[in-house]
């Protein structure tokens, strides 16, 4: 059993990670800036704390006595959020910096940083037929403005804290993680949840049209939460210090994903393309050659299954919300 700090425990991935770590017999300190009542998941067997980890003193008190730290704390959301909140996204660098300083001071054994596919060069993502982004494609640097720069800078911080101070760091570049219990409305949701909500609303209201941001031909790969957690834990347990992709390589267009959701919901919808809405890069996919070789890991959950589980959960959230109104 280890004593483990999960920063960003009130978030989507953080909640699942706390659950897995507690069930594996670890003592977990769960920290998030949000009030505990606003967390995605609340684990009664964790020590759940509300703290602002942009403040150094809060980081120091949080890491005191722990063996490992998982940093998933960040101000982030889907493309609609990160394109319009670049400064807020950049400020998350304070969390990583202060947590690393605290880990050095209190001799924490191992540190995990949740990075993102947004670190990859924009000129590698200009066509829909993306062959897959390799870890070396992050340089020369040309990441997503704001959010991507913060992630890339924080990756370098992890590297140099190991080189200069011996802090053992692990870095995962997540590719569009989704699943039940995630953000599904309010402006921070990502494409799978946003589209599932739109299709569910259309099914519930007998509407025949949904709005799609862009022309629907932009491509992505999407990683189910169960795969994300398994890959994260394998990476943390390994001796791999370089950043690696934790993502699916099952690439689809947004139009194709809508088609999968239509099949799940048993509806057929016309599509209203909003060409002025935020749409991000043209094509993004994960090349899993390195992580497969280093960790013998690759995702096992198909997009069809993951979207089905996510859709059922979001559909029920819409029904429940309407009942409370």
* Confidence at residue 298, expressed as pLDDT on a 0 to 100 scale: 95
CA distance 241 to 257: 34
**pLDDT 10s digits, 221-274:** 999 999 999 999 999 999 999 999 999 999 999 999 999 999 999 999 999 999
Looking at the structure, tell me whether residues 127 and 211 fall in a common domain.
no
Average pLDDT over residues 157-165: 98
Kind of pairing between the strands at 110-116 and 251-253? unpaired
Main-chain phi, psi angles of 218, to 5 degrees: -60, 140
**Overall number of domains in the chain:** 2
Q: How many helices (H) and strands (E) does the chain have?
A: 11, 13
For the chain, the helix, strand and coil percentages under 3-state DSSP, each to the nearest 5: 45, 20, 40
Query: Given 111, 147, 174, 178, which residue is catalytic?
Result: 147
In terms of domains, do 166 and 280 share one? no
Segment 282-303 mean pLDDT: 97
pLDDT in the model for residue 279: 80
17 and 83 assigned to the same domain: yes
Instruction: Answer yes or no: do 110 and 148 share one domain.
Output: yes
For all residues of the chain together, what is the average pLDDT? 95
* pLDDT for residue 325: 79
What integer is the mean pLDDT of 74-78? Answer: 82
Query: In this predicted model, what pLDDT tens digit does every residue of 122-138 receive, in sequence order?
Result: 999 999 999 999 999 99
Same domain, 299 and 171: no
Per-residue pLDDT at 290: 98
Closest CA to 18 of 48, 52, 60: 48
Residue length, the chain? 325
Residues 77 and 148 in one domain: yes
Q: Quick check: is 147 catalytic?
A: yes
37 and 54 share a domain? yes
CATH number reported for the structural domain that contains residue 286 in this entry: 3.90.25.10
Q: What is the pLDDT of residue 128?
A: 95
| Pair 161, 114 in one domain | yes
217 and 228 in a single domain? The answer is no
Check if the beta carbon of residue 295 is closer than 8 Å to that of residue 240: yes
Based on the domain organization, do 121 and 33 belong to the same domain?
yes
Question: For strand 244-246 and strand 223-224, is the pairing parallel, antiparallel, or unpaired?
Answer: unpaired
Q: Residues 265, 315: one domain?
A: yes
Domain hosting residue 85, numbered range: 3-177+224-246
Instruction: Say which CATH number the domain at 145 has.
Output: 3.40.50.720
Checking if the pLDDT of 80 tops 80, the result is: no
């Amino acid at each position: 059993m280890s004593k483990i700090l999960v920063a960003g425990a009130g978030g989507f991935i953080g909640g699942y990670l706390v659950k897995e770590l507690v069930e594996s017999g670890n003592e977990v300190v769960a920290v998030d800036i949000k009030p505990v009542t606003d967390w995605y998941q609340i684990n009664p067997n964790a020590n759940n704390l509300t703290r602002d980890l942009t403040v150094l003193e809060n980081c120091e008190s949080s890491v005191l006595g722990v063996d490992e730290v998982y940093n998933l704390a960040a101000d982030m959301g889907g493309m609609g959020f990160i394109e319009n909140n670049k400064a807020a996204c950049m400020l998350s660098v304070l969390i990583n910096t202060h947590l690393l300083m605290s880990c050095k001071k209190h001799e924490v054994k191992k540190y995990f940083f949740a990075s993102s596919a947004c670190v990859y060069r924009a000129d590698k993502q200009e066509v829909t037929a993306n062959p897959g982004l390799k870890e070396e494609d992050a340089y020369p640097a040309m990441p997503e403005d704001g959010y991507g720069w913060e992630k890339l800078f924080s990756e370098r911080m992890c590297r140099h804290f190991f080189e200069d101070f011996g802090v053992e760091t692990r870095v995962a570049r997540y590719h569009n993680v989704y699943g039940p219990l995630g953000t599904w409305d309010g402006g921070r949701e990502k494409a799978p949840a946003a589209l599932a909500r739109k299709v569910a609303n259309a099914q519930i209201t007998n509407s025949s049209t949904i709005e799609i941001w862009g022309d629907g031909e932009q491509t992505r790969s999407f990683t189910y939460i169960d795969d994300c957690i398994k890959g994260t834990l394998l990476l943390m347990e390994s001796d791999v210090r370089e950043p690696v992709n934790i993502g699916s390589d099952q690439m689809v267009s947004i139009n194709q994903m809508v088609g999968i959701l239509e099949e799940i919901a048993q509806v057929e919808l016309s599509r209203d393309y909003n060409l002025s809405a935020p749409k991000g890069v043209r094509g993004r996919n994960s090349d899993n050659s390195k992580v497969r070789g280093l960790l013998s890991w690759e995702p096992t959950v198909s997009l069809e299954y993951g979207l089905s589980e996510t859709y059922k959960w979001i559909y029920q959230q819409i029904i429940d919300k309407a009942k409370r109104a």
